[in-house]
Structure 1
Amino acid sequence: MAAIREWWQRATKCVGVRRGEVTVASAAAPNSGHSSAAERWQCRLLRIAPLLLAASVLIRFAASVLQYGDLYIDLRVYVVGGAAVGRPGTLYDAFSLDGVGQHLPFTYPPFAAILYYPLHWFPFAIVAFAWTAATIAALYGVVRISQMMAGSDNPRAAMLWTGAAILFEPVRSTLDLGQVNMFLMLAVLYAARSSRWWVSGSLVGLAAGVKLTPAIASFYLLGMRRWTAAAASIVAFVATIGVSAVLLPRETRLYFTELLGDVQRVGAVDYAPNQSWQGTLSRIVGYDVGRGPLLLLAIFATAILAAFAWRALGGRFQIRDALGSLLVIQLFGLTISPVSWTHHWVWVVPLVVWLFHGRWCDAPGVKVLRWLWVALLLIGVPTLLALQPQDYSRPWYFAWADAVYVPMTLATFAWMIVAGRQGAKQDGDRRAIRAGER
């Protein structure tokens, strides 16, 4: 018993690393004058982090079992899409999904169907369980990489973030649908952190071959002047098309010549969970704005903000913030895409970690911004409003209330610009003082 008690004390010792986390000293003496109440509470949470994560995961699995018949719609499409690989010419037909009473099409590149092919070998209940477990594991991986890129390294804090992030709207939606987004985000984050050009390029290219949205990470590689990695990402993506052309020539030709630009095949633009500029504007004005002048103006303004935010995250005299820069690219891509469902916005997980633990975690205004993000992600306004009639006759206040992710992205970019200027000014003042001392 003594050995077990000693092991438990070591396992639950509160250890903080770098900024934003409690220190060993404050954990060892929680009642001393050097430890604030917030640090003591943080220490207590870190001690029970494994239990809190386990409770969050168990609750998630219990909810999945209770609502099993209404969940995993996208995963069911993956399974039948993979099975269609063995039936040439049927991949892009509308599939009848057993148990859910819906006919849905496969909307991904043919390479994704090839990867999903083994899924139909197993009972769907086993596939759903394994997929959910793997998604949560990938979520933990996302948090850990985000921590390290933000300059922090605390596995117990990562457990807390993982348990909390399971409750975020994009993660809830990803788990409900059985979506692939978490795995793709993990691949892109690992690519961004890796210093090996062939690893970074291959991961981005392969992720884009599964679902086109990760392709925007190539612009991050270009912005970071990782020319070889960016070229490798293009080569890897072309290779996925080549594999598809060999195994599924008819489907590959159909997808890249006809289906690629068919937005309606993905879903109605005005549906509440579509949190892109096009979806947001269309709901507000009462009709599909398409790729017209109003949308182009909004995209142009967002591009300007994103460019200044990128610049603020690293300049001539400042080491570039890699995670913050990647987030600028990803959030910009989500706003300009015709359709960005709430489950596409899983990138808010590394964003929140960055706001709490990144270089600017103490900048003016960051507390308001990060807690506003957390509150909106927990509430999930688009999910709640999806229960209302989904057409252009919805009341104007519902349309405006559903504008969540795009305005928050604009606010985040604007805050980055201001925080970056203040940081640059402080750096300039310090350089001037050092120069004067010489």
Structure 2
Amino acid sequence: MGLRTLEARLLAFAPWLLGLSLLGHLTMVAFQTKMTMVDLMVYRNASPELFTGGLYEWRLKEFSDQFALPFTYPPFSALVFVPLSWVPWAVARWSWQLLSLACLWFVTHRSLRLVGSRDPRRAMLWTGLFVWVEPVRTTLNYGQINLVLAALLLGAMVSARSPVQGAGVGVAAGLKLTPAISGLYFLVTRRYRAAAWSVAAFFGTVAVAYAISPGLSNQYWFHLLGDASRVGPVGSAINQSLRGALSRTVGHDVGTGPVFLVAALVAAVLTGFALHAAVKARDTLAMIVAVQFLGLLVSPISWSHHWVWAVPALMWLVYAAGHRLATATAAAWLLATGSYLISFLLNAQPSIWVIPRPWHQSLLGWVYPAVGLLTLVTITVVLRQRADESEEDVEHPVDLLRE
């Protein structure tokens, strides 16, 4: 049975598969009241400290025997999270789960639309599957904001209106700095008005936070920004950035020294090739994936749950590429995210702060950065080959009169 036949059969049961998948997940939420959602607890419990001046001294000590979790986002994000503190914990956790699941469906559905698929059952099928892959699973378990940000960014970046595009990216960057990399998409597509709107929206979030708490704003922007150790252990297996992988390989935090700079340059060059090919092909999803992957690779810390951008990447690899290399890359992503390898590596380390580890664990700890780099190569190869084939068709048109 071919893949197309298998997919056709699965699509017939897509609503049922999605329903069972969501039921299984929500059942886990119902019976695991201490399942963590520790990040959501940080958002909720720390946000009122915006008005006391103690936001960045506050720590969540429950559920973590190795690292009392701090609030690490800009002050504006604390303001956005304040309403969570107005409702009981049960209401907050259930609301956040439902919002995150809706965002997962949106990201999957919009990605499929960008590759030309309009069958709603396909979005149902893949959403049901993605609930159980590691980046999404851990985002849901931790109560993280990744799916919300991904939906906000993807919806904004594909909008036809510059103010919407820019405002979405600017506000997302105001909530958490890493989405600022999305501005690169506006530059390579020459959407300068959208880029200007994004800058204005971002500084608008900064201004709002300064109006509420100048002291905390100064503390964040001039003292805490750039301190990766405050965010968490750089060398832990859960950090799937280039810096994390390199640090585990050499046995110490490489920081932003020459080793990291060379790796970041390689990632930037590969992204440049991918973006050039995607711009020439007018492939919007490929451009967005390339930009977001660059941000994940060069960020000091990219937890495995930050890699929810593997979802749109997989949709492009499966449905837009039509190439053996893309099939192999898609299989690599499914294996990497479906095997829960990062969770196993995390459990194997004696402490989240210990960087040196056995060579095989260091090698396996490259999984997301390695497949991320492979994805950039795949975008370049597939779209360049497609462009070459199109040029050959133009240069050597079929002589219809001979048929």
Q: TM-score, normalised by structure 1?
A: 0.87
1:337 aligns with 2:302: no
The aligned residue for residue 287 of structure 1 is 252
State the alpha-carbon separation in 1 of the partners of residues 111 and 158 from structure 2.
9
Contact 1:281 1:295 in 2 (8 A): yes
Once structures 1 and 2 are overlaid, which stretch shifts more, 122-131 or 227-236? 122-131
Please say if residues 364 and 419 of structure 1, whose CA atoms lie closer than 8 Å, have aligned partners that are also in contact. Answer: no
Give unmatched runs, 5+ long, in structure 2: none
1:132 & 1:216 partners in 2: Cα distance? 26
2:318 matches 1:356: yes
| SS of residue paired to 1:303 | helix
Structure 2 letter corresponding to 1:371: A
Partner of 2:55: 91
Name the CA distance, whole Å, in 1 between partners of 2:19 and 2:398: 54
Cα pair 2:134 2:338 within 8 Å, conserved: yes
Cα shift at 1:98: 5.5
> 1:80 touches 1:95 (CA, 8 Å); kept in 2?
no
Match of 1:61 among 21, 26, 33: 26
Once residues 186 and 375 of structure 1 are traced to their aligned partners in structure 2, the CA distance between those partners, rounded to angstroms, is 24
Q: Name the SS for the 2:255 alignment partner.
A: coil
Pair 99,432 (structure 1): closer, same or farther in 2 beyond 3 Å: closer
Question: Residues 239-283 of structure 1, C-alpha deviation per residue, up to 9 Å, x if partnerless?
Answer: 000000001111111100101111111001001010001000000
What residue in structure 2 maps to residue 258 of structure 1? 223
SS in structure 2 of the partner of residue 153 of structure 1: coil
Shift of 1:379: 0.6
Assess if the C-alpha contact under 8 Å between 1:76 and 1:97 holds in 2.
Answer: no
State whether residues 95 and 103 of structure 1, in contact with CA within 8 Å, keep that contact through their aligned partners in structure 2. Answer: yes
CA distance in 2, matches of 1:277, 1:302: 9
Q: Does the CA contact (< 8 Å) of 2:240 and 2:368 recur in 1?
A: yes
- Confirm or deny: 8 A CA contact 1:181 1:344 kept in the other structure: yes
Residue aligning to 2:364: 401
Query: Residue 13 of structure 1 corresponds to which residue in structure 2?
Result: none
Q: Which moved more, 1:112-121 or 1:63-72?
A: 63-72
Aligned to 1:238: 203
Give the structure 1 partner of residue 394 of structure 2: 431
Q: How far 1:313 sits from its partner (Å)?
A: 1.6
Q: Distance in 2 between matches of 1:269 and 1:37?
A: 43
C-alpha displacement at 1:94, in angstroms?
2.9
User: In structure 2, what is the Cα distance between the partners aligned to 1:104 and 1:432?
Assistant: 61
Contact 1:69 1:100 survives alignment (8 Å) = no
What is aligned with 1:347?
Answer: 309
Q: Distance in 2 between matches of 1:46 and 1:419?
A: 27
Q: Select the residue among 267, 272, 275 that pairs with 2:232.
A: 267
Are positions 1:191 and 2:171 aligned together? no
Q: Equivalent residue of 1:386, what SS?
A: helix
1:368-405 CA distances to partner (integer Å, 9 max, x unpaired)? Answer: 22112112110121111000224134211111111101
Question: 1:137-194 CA deviation, whole Å, 9 max, x = no partner?
Answer: 1100011111111121111100111010111111011001100111111111011210
Give 1:95 shift. Answer: 2.3
Whether the 8 Å contact between 1:64 and 1:71 is mirrored in structure 2 is no
Specify every segment of 5 or more residues in structure 1 that has no aligned partner in the other structure, as ranges.
1-35
Secondary structure of residue in 1 paired with 2:347: coil
Q: How does 1:71-86 map to 2 (within 5 A)?
A: 71-86=36-51
Measured in 2, the distance between the counterparts of 1:436 and 1:256 equals 65
Deviation at 1:38, TM superposition (A): 4.2
- Partners of 1:291 and 1:120 lie apart in 2 by 37
Query: What are the within-5 Å matches in structure 2 for residues 194-209 of structure 1?
Result: 194-209=159-174
Which position in structure 2 is the counterpart of 1:32?
none
Q: Aligned pairs, how many?
A: 397
The equivalent of 2:133 in structure 1 is 168
| Distance in 1, Cα, partners of 2:18 & 2:290 | 29
Q: How much has 1:336 moved relative to structure 2?
A: 0.4
Q: Is the 8 A contact 2:48 2:85 kept in 1?
A: yes
Instruction: Write out per-residue CA displacement over residues 345-383 of structure 1, whole angstroms, 9 at most, x where no aligned residue.
Output: 11000000111122x2x1232222211211211012111
Decide which structure has the larger Cα Rg and report it. Answer: 1
Counterparts of 1:420 and 1:185 in 2: how far apart (Å)? 24
Tell me which residue corresponds to 1:126: 91
- Alignment CA distance shift 1:99-1:308 (3 Å): closer
Contact 2:29 2:35 in 1 (8 A): no
| 1:325 paired to 2:287 | yes
Give the match for residue 385 of structure 1: 345
1:433 to partner: Cα distance: 1.4
Distance 1:410 1:103, change over 3 A: closer
- Shift in Å at residue 130 of structure 1? 1.1
Aligned match of 1:368: 328
- How far does residue 301 in structure 1 lie from its aligned partner after superposition? 1.3
Given that residues 205 and 232 in structure 1 are in contact (C-alpha distance below 8 angstroms), is that contact kept between their aligned partners in structure 2?
A: yes
State how far apart, in whole Å, the 1-side matches of 2:262 and 2:68 are: 36
Q: Say if 1:70 and 1:100, in contact at 8 Å, map to a contact too.
A: no
TM-score, normalisation: structure 2: 0.94
The alpha carbon displacement at 1:80 in A equals 1.2
Cα deviation code 1:45-100 (max 9, x no counterpart): 212211111111111122223332131000000001222134x2111113245676
Inter-partner Cα distance in structure 2 for 1:221 and 1:81: 34
- CA separation in 1, counterparts of 2:58 and 2:140? 23
Instruction: Work out whether residues 62 and 68 of structure 2, in 8 Å CA contact, stay in contact via their aligned partners in 1.
Output: no
Residue pair 1:217, 1:329 contacting (<8 A) in 2 also: yes
One-letter identity of the residue aligned with 2:362? A
Structure-1 residue corresponding to 2:376? 413
SS in 2 for 1:179: coil
Tell me how far 1:422 sits from its aligned partner.
Answer: 1.6
Equivalent in the alignment of 2:271:
306
Partners of 1:94 and 1:103 within 8 A in 2 = no
Identity of aligned residues (%): 38
